[in-house]
Chains A and B, each alone.
Chain A
Amino acid sequence: MLSYIIRKLMYSLLVLVGVIVMTFFIRPPGDPARVMLGQRADSASVAALRTKMGLDRPLPVQIGSYAWNLVTRLDMGRSIATDASVAETIAERFPATALLAGTSMAIATVVGIVLGLIASWKPNTWIDTTAMALSLTGISIPSFVVGLLFVILFGVTLEWFPNSGYVDRGAAYLVLPMITLAIRPMSVIARVTRSSLLDVLGQDYIRTARAKGLATTTVYLRHALRNALNPVVTTVSAWFAGLLAGTYFIEFVFNWPGIGLAAFNAIEKLDYPMIQGTVLFTAVVFVIVNIASDILYAFIDPKVRLQ
């Protein structure tokens, strides 16, 4: 068990090395110093800035020092546009994004599993078809499009919910961005739950449970759902990083002051240290969530350890 965990951790470190190197290369083509100073700057000041930013050093040294600053001091550089520390910006804005992503994921998981249950209850009937068509629609529409359609419908036309702003002005501000962000993972979870349940329901032990005369509800909830949830857990953990990426657009549409909004603004201005920081943050969260769920699995399911 221990050796399995250590092996997994070492491999994740190896992946993180790759992630950091890749992040280093997220920068616009051309000379960053020239981009920062503008086309009219004289070559002497460009050269001076290059030295200051360390751009005159060989590439491996630059990558090394980027990784070193990152690992030892959590230093991700400073924003080109605002000169704010990237790491501090991310830390400041994390609570807003965590609130949005956390509540969305909770809703997506619960509603998604329920939808999947309903659909698999009577497969290939109109209930199933409707639930699956709904989830296919959810997958088909990009989150910012859903967000804008929601703003038009619920914010502007019906005026049910405020369409822009943070929860410090009231909990109602959370509703639209949260639902918007939840729709895609919810649709995916519903589909995974359905197919996984249909799989499990075909197994012999379900037939045995039914033959014992257990109520259909008991068979469903106690025997089938518990065994069908494994792929669902994988989906939820895999979607978490995707959800963080989704906040880039949702936070812009709803003017939600989280990491995503900072990233969106940085992308528009090609403010690459900020882009690197936010992208790296999301990737690291993904790797950590992934390794955590892997280890959790090893505890739950002995088959995993032996592979």
Chain B
Amino acid sequence: MTADKRLRGDSPWQLAWRRLRKNVGAIIGMSIIAVMILMAVFAPLITPFEPTTSILEYAVKPAGFRGSILKKINPSNPETPTLIAVDSWHVDNDTVRWTDPVGTPYREHVSAMFGSGPGDWHDEPLFIMGTDRQGRDIYTRLVYGLRVSLSVGLISESIALMIGIMLGALAGFYRGWVDDVVMWGVNVVWAFPSILLVIAFSVMLGQGFWQTFIAIGVSSWVDIARIVRGQFFSIREQDYIEATRAFGFGSIRVVLRHMLPNAMGPIIVLGTAGFATAIIAEASLSFIGLGVQPPMPSWGQMIREGVGYVALGTNWEMTAFPCLAMALAVFAVNLFGDGLRDVFDPKTTQRS
């Protein structure tokens, strides 16, 4: 049984997985990414508010602030109540009386309150990371910002991979003038530092969710095209490609079935690195005011909103938490990517 298995050998992917499993850094990176994906998917379950819920009375509160709010029925939307910050409150027969943080007294009939009893309509939420200028919970916005960051990484990098693999394969397979033209394009695009390219495309396409994804995607294919081209140059010389030609296989079949799978290692490594770069690019864009637009929360925007307070020397948490979240996310992806590089690097390849 064991002998059989040894004879058959492992597929390159099984080998890669076995080596990856032994890489502590890669495992740590992978675990952090997994937790982040879960947080992004289940964001509504683990956050006390909606990302756009703002309680203006609680603007710019420090980390660990505990509020006291009453929930009133919102006539235009029965699902989400209107939130009122209160200083003190009590129920007096059928009337709820409260004073707001400035000391102004209010009253309302219980039927106007959200839910069926004081347990439903009163809450003392904890703002673990404080609030921003519009009295929105920073922690909540951080978790929802994770959604933007992860989707940017995924979608933009997919676009970049598509363009890069296609152009690199064209150049590497056909060579000659096709290669010259593609490489000219590569060199032109390469002359722009990547973040400036992202900014340039973002200016051209306009601002918004999808525009941002596309701007980052069409800016990041150059490295991939170069590596695929290089891989194809060497793979093309191999005997098994010669063999496919002897069989009379068509070009597309040779490229897709026989060449691309053998170039996959470096592509995966670059793709992972690109995932991290895309997250940074999106944050940089929204920091500068391009990119994903409010009210959709994005880490770059949140950091930007806090900058003024940093200069004043107050409320550092408004900037520090999104900064740290982003550093952690990118670090995790890079840690994983580094592990992948060790796995796929032919120089270190050995049967393990």
Q: What size tier do the contact residues of chain A reach? A: 35 or more
How many chain B residues touch the partner (CB < 8 A)?
42
Q: Which of A28, A148, A156, A163 contacts B323 (CB 8 A)?
A: A148
CB of B200, distance to nearest CB on chain A (Å): 5
Q: Which of A25, A267, A290 contacts B199 (CB 8 A)?
A: A267
B319 contacts A148, C-beta separation under 8 Å: yes
Q: Which residues of B contact A270 (CB under 8 A)?
A: 203
A136, B188: Cα distance in complex, Å: 29
A27, B85: Cα distance in complex, Å: 45
The stretch from A51-59, A86-94, A137-145, A223-231 touching chain B is: A137-145
A245 contacts B195, C-beta separation under 8 Å: yes
CB of A80, distance to nearest CB on chain B (Å): 13
A139 contacts B290, C-beta separation under 8 Å: no
Docked complex: B312-352 residues within 8 A CB-CB of A: 313, 316, 319-320, 323, 326-327, 330-331, 334-335, 338
Q: Which of A142, A157, A163, A267 contacts B289 (CB 8 A)?
A: A267
A29 contacts B280, C-beta separation under 8 Å: no
CB of A183, distance to nearest CB on chain B (Å): 12
A99, B304: Cα distance in complex, Å: 26
User: At the interface, yes or no: B110 with Cβ under 8 Å from chain A?
Assistant: no
B188 contacts A22, C-beta separation under 8 Å: yes
Q: Which residues of B contact A157 (CB under 8 A)?
A: 316
User: At the interface, yes or no: B184 with Cβ under 8 Å from chain A?
Assistant: yes
User: At the interface, yes or no: B311 with Cβ under 8 Å from chain A?
Assistant: yes
CB of B148, distance to nearest CB on chain A (Å): 15
Closest residue on chain B to residue A240 by CB atoms: B193
B188 contacts A15, C-beta separation under 8 Å: yes
Q: Which residues of A contact B191 (CB under 8 A)?
A: 15, 19, 241, 283, 286-287, 290
Residue in A27, A142, A275 with the greatest tally of chain B CB atoms within 10 Å: A142
User: At the interface, yes or no: A221 with Cβ under 8 Å from chain B?
Assistant: no
B184 contacts A144, C-beta separation under 8 Å: no
A148, B320: Cα distance in complex, Å: 8
Q: Which residues of B contact A29 (CB under 8 A)?
A: 204-206
Q: Which residues of B contact A246 (CB under 8 A)?
A: 195
Q: Which residues of A contact B196 (CB under 8 A)?
A: 245, 248, 279, 282-283
B290 contacts A148, C-beta separation under 8 Å: no
User: At the interface, yes or no: A85 with Cβ under 8 Å from chain B?
Assistant: no
A18, B190: Cα distance in complex, Å: 11
CB of B141, distance to nearest CB on chain A (Å): 17
Interchain residue pairs A-B with the least CB separation, the first 10: A18-B188, A245-B193, A140-B331, A140-B330, A156-B313, A283-B191, A141-B327, A26-B200, A145-B323, A142-B280
List 19 interface pairs A-B (beta carbons < 8 Å), by A numbering: A15-B184, A15-B188, A18-B187, A22-B188, A26-B200, A28-B206, A136-B334, A137-B331, A139-B334, A140-B331, A142-B326, A144-B303, A148-B320, A164-B311, A242-B194, A245-B196, A270-B203, A279-B199, A283-B196
B binding-site residues for A, Cβ under 8 Å:
184-185, 187-189, 191-196, 199-200, 203-206, 276, 280, 283-284, 287-290, 303, 306-307, 310-311, 313, 316, 319-320, 323, 326-327, 330-331, 334-335, 338
A binding-site residues for B, Cβ under 8 Å:
11, 14-15, 18-19, 22-23, 25-29, 136-137, 139-142, 144-145, 148-149, 151-152, 156-157, 163-164, 241-242, 244-246, 248-249, 253, 264, 267-268, 270, 272, 275, 279, 282-283, 286-287, 290
Besides A140-B276, A275-B203, A279-B192, 19 more A-B contacts (Cβ < 8 Å) are A14-B184, A28-B204, A136-B334, A140-B327, A141-B326, A141-B327, A145-B283, A148-B303, A148-B319, A152-B310, A152-B320, A156-B310, A156-B313, A164-B311, A242-B194, A249-B288, A268-B289, A282-B196, A283-B191
